[in-house]
Structure 1
Amino acid sequence: MSRRKLELYENIFNRVGPGKSKVTIVEVAAFLHCSERHARTLLNQMTTLGWLTWSPTVGRGNKGILNCLLEPIQACHKEIDKANDNSNLDLVYKLVGFNGRDTAAGLWQYLSQAVTEKHNTILAPFHRCMKTLHPHFVTERTERHFISEIYQTLVEEKANKVAGNLAHFWESNHNHTVWAFYLRPETQFHDLSLLTADDVVASFKGLIHSAQWQRLYDHIEKVIAVSFDVVEIHLSTPDPFFTQLLCRAETAIMPKQFVFANESHFKAIGSGPFSLAVNSNKLVRLQRFSQYNRTSALIEKIEFWIHENWAERKKCYQNFFFLNDSLKVYETACDYVGSFYCLIANKQLQTKEVKQNLAAAFLGNQTQADTQYSVYTVSHENNRECREYAKQLFSYFGNSHAPQTLKMKEVKFGQFINGLDVSILGVRKEDNKYTSLFAFLKLYPHWASVLSFTQHDYLQKQIAAIRIEADVVRQQALISHVMAWLEQQHILFEIKREGLTLTVPEQIQGVEINANGWCNFSKLWIKPSKEKSGVTSSMESLIAKY
């Protein structure tokens, strides 16, 4: 199937319209800019495809009956369905752009109607490819949610309590330095190999050697496979709430042969409710894993369709499944999923006045900054909100010195550059606010250069006290105290708390938004619509709405 054939069908449709029309083969050939013989061939091919019917009349110059059965866009979507079923994504992207159409808008329109016709698949738009979904390497919010769908951690957090996941039971010694985890029997990876204690040991060895995460897990001394389905983790210091760390995405368990595999040899194989069926620059498809060791997913597939042009419209606080514009929708929200912070890394700028200037800039104050408080180098994370905050700083401080001396550097979430004046960064709540704040305190690598010797010594003692505290209320109070102390020292302050909304068609049931801005995919299901509605609104109105 070629895009050119669709374009020719639209040429015919534009001349004769839907339904039956009387035309000669000479006229059809003129519509198609081809010979009469080739026009007959094309009509036969389009008839086979189900787009039209052609009933010629004997005798040159006599008019036959041409019946256009489908709108051109319907014919396009029909062929996209076939290409998608055959995993021919290159053809999908070619077809949606037929006759000069915008590919991003065309793809959006196709997906917005597909949800009404695919009762076993949920579709969502996304603005970037997800690359390697290795638990030790991903830091972005959506990718970390995908980790939880593809893999299993030993335990998970539910309703502020730690619950079993891959492990059905766990225990520790009296001082919380040795933890034993008992794995669910007969757990299978997506390649149907058995998950054993050796896979857990290998996954944790990779974790504690990970440049991204090793500071958070630096108290893990060794991990031992006691038996086929029992693992012991030995710690150098007591950690009464160690299991809360083990709810985090980076602790997910993968087959031992892939833990240290390079990107070209790595396969995202887990034991979670969904397997990764496709991961390309156009589509990420999750497929229900029928051998999952817990309750199977209700939906067969989750598909994230990708187009980079959608990044211009994507906001950090906004996710949605594809919608048909004529369907009713609802929004579910999580009012706190994390915060944006400003970290003043230059010791000379760690004053009350500078902090107030920075806060004013983030609020959009256009008053020119005093030159004695100039900020010259700023890093910000690669999301829309942080870019906006960086622009506000540029506007605020850019007039106080030559604009070319104000340097902005964009970084990924969790990446920190030393030697800058200011960093705009996020701390995400994920499963537990206090665990995430503690993770930030442990993972930020440049405290020694940001703080004075006395401040640094105090911070490290507080972090050590937090780790060994056995009372959850006192532990949370210690974490809150450290964050307040950093603000009092004019080092770190909160710019804004972040919320998230998920917009959902009313047909999609089982949605409970989480702190990653998505939901538990395995609980989703589609309630069939009583009335089938077509796609009647323009792409511009769809995009304007969302």
Structure 2
Amino acid sequence: MRLLNRLNQYQRLWQPSAGAPQNVTVGELAARCFCSERHVRTLLRQAQQAGWLIWQAQPGRGKRGRLRFLASPASLRKTMMEQALEQGHQLSALGLAQLAPGELRAMLQPFMGGQWQNDTPTLRIPYYRPLDPLRPGFLPGRAEQHLAGQIFSGLTRFTCDGQRPSGDLAHGWDISADGLRWDFYIRSTLHWHTGDTVATSQLYQRLLMLLRLPALNRLFISVKRIAVTHPQRLTFYLHRPDFWLAHRLASYCSRLAHPDMPLVGSGPFRLTLFTPELVRLESHEQYHLSHPLLKAVEYWIAPQLFARDLGTSCRHPVQINIGKPEELATLSQVSSGISLGFCYLTLRKSARLSLRQARRLVNIVHSSSLMQSLAVDENLITPSGTLLPGWALPQWDDREAVPLPARLTLAYHLPVELHAMAEQLQRHLAELGCELTLIFHNAKSWDGAHPLAQADLIMGDRLIGEAPEYTLEQWLRCDPLWPHVLDAPAFAHLQATLDALQILPDEEERHAALQQVFSGLMNEAVLTPLFNYHYRISAPPGVNGVRLNPRGWFEFADAWLPPPEC
């Protein structure tokens, strides 16, 4: 970036006098810029032609010339950033900002929120961490799950209220009387983000690739085979009926990328840039459902900028603020709610931890002031009184407090609130004569290498997006947590129970049966929820159509910006 180098050199010329006029020799300027006298003369000539400074040289070697500055490096940087953004060079804009880390906040923030750039509406979201790569199957991060839903389409999708599946790539489907054949009718007007027509055979290929993933193979365990039975029809043949099948296909983990290009989808937005500093989405003009109202959405990722700034999206992953510091007074909370997802505690019954001891631990968590005294941001979490609305926690008689084991081990992963929870529980149990060893797993899930085999107690975060009852069934079926919490016979019985309830065609019956499964786990003190998060989205007055979705984000396709005043 030649322009970046010129600005960097200009900064070196400016610094000694902070912009005041200087009497200086060419040799001194060359030393500042770590270059030859010939090169510094070229820099001075170029800067003067650009209107940045005035250089009045004096005849004679070693004579002092007069250097006057016409623009500050900060103002030049801002102008260059605006020009780069107008020209669609977002990475150049970020590069310009990163020249001066100490001023990064002031430089970037004016470009956040809703902006019209080059006559196109663009929404820029400041974000606190790099996004993980988008890979097929399950993703641990809420932001990545949401992003996958914006880029890729599934055979089905969840309705706006997030409760039931509806058509997406398939406009409809039929189920045979015995529940063993599902025909999905594929739309005839589908296009990939490349502009190419979507072929049913390509969707078939990608589905087969997904089913080779161990976690998704468990999710679709009832599928015997898939076939293209017509150029516009995909047919699923099942071993046993599975009336969650349309839900499974609507989940973000089942969204379908191009079989040969894993980052090309057919969703409302196409991915045009994915770097640790910037992620950019642009609207897909040939999207088969309602077209997005924004041209582009960008995540501007700068952890050093947002780590302590409460005026960005980075106060906490579940609290998104879209706007600039000067707009904080005008930001309004446009949508909020309590997450259905929860942080949880599971207890593995063993020779070291009996049922009565496990129940006492659960009572300690819910009956003491332990969660109320956590050192977390105010109004960030609320203790869970139910697993889901109407799924009440069990009540046990704890008048006779059974002694706790002398030693226990707790394994837990992110989010950071579980750090505070683990330390608080450790202190509380120490007062009761139980030494709690903590093992922190620095990840958002239990995928990959994990310490579960060493743990008596386990804490984690169960994200719930759409269709909460189905999501909990998926959790029991696919998460590597459960084979470690339950012994082999209990885990096999759990899976058989899930197989039995999925064949119930009536949704209310399935929900009731699943509630009984979780009631049993809670009554046995195997599982207890800890707390839910407060989801919040705030935006300045000019950003419209922002509505909290079940995953704690908002649908980018619904957001819109009014055009600027003439």
TM-score range, shorter chain: 0.7 to 0.9
Give the Cα–Cα distance (whole angstroms) in 2 for the partners of residues 156 and 224 of structure 1: 21
Paired position in structure 2 for 1:542? none
Contact 1:199 1:254 in 2 (8 A): no
Contact 1:129 1:306 in 2 (8 A): yes
Larger deviation: 301-310 or 117-126?
117-126
Contact 1:315 1:385 in 2 (8 A): no
Contact 2:186 2:233 in 1 (8 A): yes
Paired position in structure 1 for 2:380? none
Paired position in structure 1 for 2:458? 423
The one-letter amino acid of 1:73's match is A
Q: Do the aligned partners of residues 526 and 97 (structure 1) sit closer, same or farther apart at CA in structure 2, a change above 3 Å counting?
A: same
Give the Cα–Cα distance (whole angstroms) in 2 for the partners of residues 402 and 107 of structure 1: 52
Matched, 1:205 2:231: no
The one-letter amino acid of 2:265's match is G
Matched, 1:270 2:257: no
Give the Cα–Cα distance (whole angstroms) in 1 for the partners of residues 116 and 214 of structure 2: 45
1:476-521 CA-partner distances (Å, limit 9, x unpaired): 2222222222111111001012231112222111112112222111
Larger deviation: 213-222 or 404-413?
404-413
Q: Do the aligned partners of residues 31 and 501 (structure 1) sit closer, same or farther apart at CA in structure 2, a change above 3 Å counting?
A: farther
Larger deviation: 392-401 or 228-237?
392-401
> By how many angstroms is 1:257 displaced?
2.8
> By how many angstroms is 1:67 displaced?
6.8
> By how many angstroms is 1:140 displaced?
1.6
Paired position in structure 2 for 1:544? none
Paired position in structure 2 for 1:109? 109
Give the Cα–Cα distance (whole angstroms) in 1 for the partners of residues 561 and 19 of structure 2: 40
Matched, 1:279 2:274: yes
1:74-100 CA-partner distances (Å, limit 9, x unpaired): 3212223455657573x6555324456
Give the Cα–Cα distance (whole angstroms) in 2 for the partners of residues 304 and 448 of structure 1: 37
The count of aligned residue pairs is 511
Paired position in structure 1 for 2:424? 392
RMSD: 3.7
Contact 2:426 2:436 in 1 (8 A): no
> By how many angstroms is 1:112 displaced?
3.4
Q: Do the aligned partners of residues 447 and 62 (structure 1) sit closer, same or farther apart at CA in structure 2, a change above 3 Å counting?
A: closer
Give the Cα–Cα distance (whole angstroms) in 1 for the partners of residues 519 and 434 of structure 2: 35
Paired position in structure 2 for 1:411? 443
Indicate which of 498, 506, 509 corresponds to 1:474. Answer: 509
Contact 1:191 1:269 in 2 (8 A): yes
Matched, 1:185 2:188: yes
> By how many angstroms is 1:402 displaced?
10
Contact 2:292 2:556 in 1 (8 A): yes
**Superposed, which structure 2 residues align to 1:83-94 within 5 Å?**
85=87, 87=89, 89=91, 92=93
Paired position in structure 1 for 2:198? 195
Give the Cα–Cα distance (whole angstroms) in 1 for the partners of residues 113 and 148 of structure 2: 28
Give the Cα–Cα distance (whole angstroms) in 2 for the partners of residues 471 and 271 of structure 1: 32
The one-letter amino acid of 2:510's match is Q
Give the Cα–Cα distance (whole angstroms) in 1 for the partners of residues 17 and 298 of structure 2: 32
Paired position in structure 1 for 2:223? 220
Give the Cα–Cα distance (whole angstroms) in 2 for the partners of residues 409 and 402 of structure 1: 22
**Superposed, which structure 2 residues align to 1:340-379 within 5 Å?**
340-347=343-350, 348-349=352-353, 350=355, 351-359=358-366, 360=368, 361-364=370-373, 372-373=404-405, 376-379=408-411
Q: Percent identity?
A: 20
Matched, 1:440 2:472: no
Give the Cα–Cα distance (whole angstroms) in 2 for the partners of residues 87 and 137 of structure 1: 32
Q: Do the aligned partners of residues 87 and 402 (structure 1) sit closer, same or farther apart at CA in structure 2, a change above 3 Å counting?
A: farther
Paired position in structure 1 for 2:393? none
**Superposed, which structure 2 residues align to 1:32-71 within 5 Å?**
41-49=42-50, 52=52, 54=54, 68-69=70-71, 71=72
Give the Cα–Cα distance (whole angstroms) in 2 for the partners of residues 5 and 403 of structure 1: 59
Give the Cα–Cα distance (whole angstroms) in 1 for the partners of residues 42 and 288 of structure 2: 55
Q: Do the aligned partners of residues 507 and 246 (structure 1) sit closer, same or farther apart at CA in structure 2, a change above 3 Å counting?
A: same
Q: Do the aligned partners of residues 221 and 378 (structure 1) sit closer, same or farther apart at CA in structure 2, a change above 3 Å counting?
A: same
Matched, 1:465 2:504: no
> By how many angstroms is 1:233 displaced?
0.9
Paired position in structure 2 for 1:144? 145
> By how many angstroms is 1:177 displaced?
1.7
Larger deviation: 178-187 or 343-352?
343-352
Give the Cα–Cα distance (whole angstroms) in 2 for the partners of residues 305 and 403 of structure 1: 44
Give the Cα–Cα distance (whole angstroms) in 1 for the partners of residues 27 and 543 of structure 2: 47
Larger deviation: 30-39 or 285-294?
30-39
Paired position in structure 2 for 1:20? none
Give the Cα–Cα distance (whole angstroms) in 2 for the partners of residues 407 and 220 of structure 1: 38
> By how many angstroms is 1:252 displaced?
0.9
> By how many angstroms is 1:66 displaced?
5.2
Give the Cα–Cα distance (whole angstroms) in 2 for the partners of residues 215 and 233 of structure 1: 16
The one-letter amino acid of 1:500's match is Y
> By how many angstroms is 1:316 displaced?
3.6
SS at match of 1:509: coil
Contact 1:203 1:251 in 2 (8 A): no
SS at match of 1:296: coil
With normalisation by structure 1, the TM-score equals: 0.81
Give the Cα–Cα distance (whole angstroms) in 2 for the partners of residues 163 and 99 of structure 1: 49
> By how many angstroms is 1:107 displaced?
5.9
With normalisation by structure 2, the TM-score equals: 0.79
Give the Cα–Cα distance (whole angstroms) in 2 for the partners of residues 126 and 29 of structure 1: 44
Paired position in structure 2 for 1:305? 300
Indicate which of 520, 539, 546 corresponds to 2:555. Answer: 520
> By how many angstroms is 1:211 displaced?
2.1
Contact 1:239 1:468 in 2 (8 A): yes
Paired position in structure 2 for 1:128? 129
Matched, 1:293 2:288: yes
> By how many angstroms is 1:377 displaced?
2.7
Contact 1:115 1:323 in 2 (8 A): no
Give the Cα–Cα distance (whole angstroms) in 2 for the partners of residues 504 and 423 of structure 1: 37
Matched, 1:257 2:260: yes
Contact 1:203 1:253 in 2 (8 A): yes
Paired position in structure 1 for 2:9? 5
* Residue segments in structure 1 that go unaligned for 5+ positions in a row: 17-22, 259-266, 532-546
The one-letter amino acid of 1:391's match is E
Contact 2:360 2:402 in 1 (8 A): no
> By how many angstroms is 1:123 displaced?
0.7
Paired position in structure 2 for 1:263? none
